[in-house]
Amino acid sequence: MLPTTSRIMIVEDSPLDRDAIKFILRGMGYQNVAEAGDGQSAIEFLTDPVRNTPPVEFIISDLKMMKMSGMEFLKEVRANDSLRHLPFILVTTEDAMNEVLNAIVAGVSDYIVKPVTEAILKKKMLAAYLKMSNIVGAGQP
């Protein structure tokens, strides 16, 4: 599992939903949480070496956001050589198969259908972490 000292980024346009995920993460022992209200702000944060210190090691992002959607943000992360290795979970209110398939094609590590619970988040974070560890360990992005 991801060490509790790891920095996790929550990208969510709803402050209430962002706070709920942060509360769950803190209950799981993760105290170092970075936040962004949209994908564009998150990319700016992640690519700024001063703000992204210590570096983010895991991303949890909403799918539907105004400035840059979670899907667009995911594509930006996967296209960036210094970020593409990060485990990335998309959170959505819909479980439409086409959205899930598009996210899988774009390289999402896993997804969660709201509401987010601690049990589901733990399970999905472990799966995403192991998946990305295996990909990086095999020499893939």
Q: What would the pLDDT profile of 7-40 be if each residue is shown by its tens digit?
A: 999 999 999 999 999 999 999 999 999 999 999 9
**Type of residue at 7:** R
> How do residues 49-66 score in pLDDT, each as one tens digit?
999 999 999 999 999 888
Whether this model's pTM surpasses 0.85: yes
Q: Which domains does the chain have, with CATH numbers?
A: 7-137 (3.40.50.2300)
Contact of 30 with 9, CB cutoff 8 Å: no
> How do residues 104-114 score in pLDDT, each as one tens digit?
999 999 999 88
